[in-house]
Structure 1
Amino acid sequence: MEVELRAEDDGSRAKEMKAFYQSWTGVKGLLDSGITDVPSFFINPPATSSSDATSTAQLQIPVIDLQGIATDQRRTEIVGAIRDAAQTWGFFRIFNHGVPINLMDNMLDAVRRFHEQPQELKKAWCTSTEINQKVFDYDMKVAAWRDTVSIEFPDGELNELAIPEVCRNVTSEYMKHMVELKETLSELLSEALGLRRDYLASIGMNGALIAFHYYPACPQPELTIGAAIHTDASFLTILLESDIDGLQVLHQNQWVDVPYRRGYLTVNIGDLLQIVSNDKFKSVKHRVLAGRVGPRTSVPCFFAPTAALRDKSYGPAEQLVSAENPAVYKGTSFHQYFSFYRPNGRDGSLVLPHFKI
């Protein structure tokens, strides 16, 4: 079944989305009500829906074992593998990363507990205004079949009171491990660029945002999408996923599945790191398909400049610019970049070209 969305539908679509948001129902609430058809404002054009779910089994994103990172020879091998992955895929998966597997399982369970609470308990954590607040995700150009709540730590300090009580303890512990892993990865990525080990840490990628994504089962997954095609605006994303597949990465103009592996984490390069790397590392498009089986849960952690550094100008690292390799991007602050990204970067559009010299 193909559905054509006309420009004149945009106004009614926006009104329906707003009314749905103000009802505080959530996608889970829709499903619990017994619906058998996807509401019209969730229906995507075929090019952006799960109907285009083709993937190739011949391609797999790189998998990197971090075991032995403290030894010189093994570290050199790991840095090389990360360099290759960041340059060619923009995504890689890691294991032996130091995050306890039982903690990862507990974090995913906590996401389900939050989203499966009574509606009145979730309502206090839901708004649709700014990225540094909690959000049910319906203010996008392309409606997504998911409920999501995000919690930001803009100064890099873990504020436990900002976390819903039902998942506070496990989230606090998980975030401590995410910060440690981010520091390790920032060193490895710095070395992979040929920069001093503390370079990325020194420019300020300590702001953090964790999101609790909940993708209910969908009665007509071919008509909608779990997460629209997008890149991430941040420096770096570390993603934890449950055992229901759905994430796809665009590589060589082909959608590649990222199948579940217990204990694995997925890492991807964000737009800001592509700028700093002067196009050596790639921030690539990805999406999440809607599915008939659910709920699927995932927990991305996004790392970006702290609030104090969001007006700082970021451009290509000086060491990566030369007469042979001129700067590709003009300097821009994260605030400026995200202000352009928010209305333009979450419907499949690429934002980075707008900031090229």
Structure 2
Amino acid sequence: MAAAAATSSYDRLKELKEFDESKIGVKGLSDSGNKTIPDFFKHPPQTLSDVKSKSSEARTKNIPVIDLSKVNTPDHHQEVVNQIKEAAKSWGFFQVINHGVPISVLEKTIEAIRAFHEQPQETKSKYYKREESHGVMYTSNNDLYRAEAACWLDSLKAWMGPKPLDPEELPAICRKEVVAWDLSATKVAETVMGLLSEGLGLAAGKFQELTFSETRVLVGHIYPYCPQPDLTLGITLHTDPGLLTVLLQNQIQGLQVRHDDEWVDVKPVHGGLIINVGDFLQIVSNGEYQSVQHRVVANSCKEPRISVVEFFNLSKWKGDGYYGPLPEVLSEQKPAMYRDFTAQEFFENFYSKGLDSKSLIQKITINYD
């Protein structure tokens, strides 16, 4: 911890509340021109120790890039299924190109999210709140009061389903683009989930049948310039709790993925979309697909890093309201690795603490010893 945090005069909760109630967000702190960041953004040294130390091999790696241009051609379909299955098993992350969304749509979406965040504080503040679960909210660190240290980002969040969001609730400056992006991201997610379903030996429409794309949240992040990037993070390491995540980002690097016990920088591919496996998909696939730790380093560039993330989760499941591994993927040779759990368990686990890695998976893993 910072020296100031160690003194009895430092009132962390008071500083958190002052920052929260100011509604200026990290963007406001960055724009102020201060050369230092508040103490509650400073992460313990052990959390930051491996941010820059990478082997030469890790520096040359990147997550798999998969071309979807021939996904509907009989001669190449199975090849794409195999590529996505392998990437979801071994990396938990991959980029898709030629996914059917025009570059102009990607660029307009990024520009619109940036435009929202670059509005004056008094304009954005009417969306600022802490209550999550529906509608639209603008905030800095949704886990501000639960996390050990805050991260250097602000977020616009919109619950797009299962209850359809009234577009009028969205900020006018990005309304049209957010609605359009939700449709585009959902189409890409449906294509990828069909391929992942086939990779499990199931029908391509299995996850559609389970209404995986109805429950979804769209989040537009900004990672402003940080004057002390070695002392904080953009987002702390975590795994995504849901089923599948679709990520659109600008060309400012920052995302890192854990692979073979090393952090690998994800190099943006122009026109590419990043897909990653969530904890929920690891569970329903009975461990066939793996959710993987990832984080975002604090932005040292004057240009802000923008990312638009859409999280997808299941709406429908067993009639008794429980979730767990799909029965179709279980056998005597591959018994269930995880017990069933309820939606209440899922939400209580997520909202009881800051972002973390596979905590629900750890709680429901079956020990056969």
Q: How large is the Cα RMSD of the aligned pairs?
A: 2.5
Matches within 5 A, 1:30-179: 30-49=29-48, 52-55=51-54, 56-132=58-134, 133-138=136-141, 139=144, 140-141=146-147, 142-155=149-162, 157=164, 159-179=166-186
Kindly state the Cα deviation for residue 167 of structure 1 after the two structures are TM-superposed.
0.4
Q: Deviations over 1:63-100 (max 9, x none)?
A: 10001111122110100000000011100100000111
So what's the TM-score if we normalise by structure 2?
0.90
Distance 1:237-1:299 versus aligned 2 partners, 3 A rule: same
Unaligned residue ranges in structure 1 (runs of 5+): none
2:314 to 290, 305, 308: 305
Identity of aligned residues (%): 37
Residue number in structure 2 paired with 1:333: 342
Q: Does 1:238 align with 2:255?
A: no
Quote the Cα distance in structure 2 between the aligned partners of 1:150 and 1:67: 31
> Is the CA contact (8 Å cut-off) linking 2:62 and 2:267 kept in structure 1?
no
Quote the Cα distance in structure 2 between the aligned partners of 1:335 and 1:273: 18
Kindly state the Cα deviation for residue 50 of structure 1 after the two structures are TM-superposed.
7.7
Residue number in structure 1 paired with 2:270: 262
- Residues 156-165 or 319-328, more deviating: 156-165
Count of residue pairs brought into register by the alignment:
356
SS in 2 for 1:177: helix
Residue number in structure 2 paired with 1:316: 325
- Residues 58-67 or 85-94, more deviating: 58-67
> Is the CA contact (8 Å cut-off) linking 2:210 and 2:316 kept in structure 1?
no
- Amino acid in structure 1 at the alignment position of 2:140: D
SS in 2 for 1:86: helix
Quote the Cα distance in structure 1 between the aligned partners of 2:28 and 2:322: 43
Q: Does 1:284 align with 2:292?
A: yes
Quote the Cα distance in structure 2 between the aligned partners of 1:311 and 1:13: 44
SS in 1 for 2:60: coil
> Is the CA contact (8 Å cut-off) linking 1:249 and 1:285 kept in structure 2?
yes
2:261 to 214, 237, 253: 253
- Amino acid in structure 1 at the alignment position of 2:120: P
Kindly state the Cα deviation for residue 334 of structure 1 after the two structures are TM-superposed.
3.5
Kindly state the Cα deviation for residue 338 of structure 1 after the two structures are TM-superposed.
2.5
Q: Does 1:200 align with 2:204?
A: no
- Amino acid in structure 2 at the alignment position of 1:268: N
> Is the CA contact (8 Å cut-off) linking 2:239 and 2:356 kept in structure 1?
no
Quote the Cα distance in structure 2 between the aligned partners of 1:63 and 1:34: 38
SS in 2 for 1:302: strand
- Structure 1 consecutive aligned stretches of length 4 or more whose deviation exceeds 6 Å: 4-9, 307-311
> Is the CA contact (8 Å cut-off) linking 1:278 and 1:316 kept in structure 2?
yes
- Amino acid in structure 1 at the alignment position of 2:13: A
Distance 1:50-1:210 versus aligned 2 partners, 3 A rule: farther
So what's the TM-score if we normalise by structure 1?
0.93
> Is the CA contact (8 Å cut-off) linking 1:285 and 1:348 kept in structure 2?
yes
- Amino acid in structure 1 at the alignment position of 2:139: F
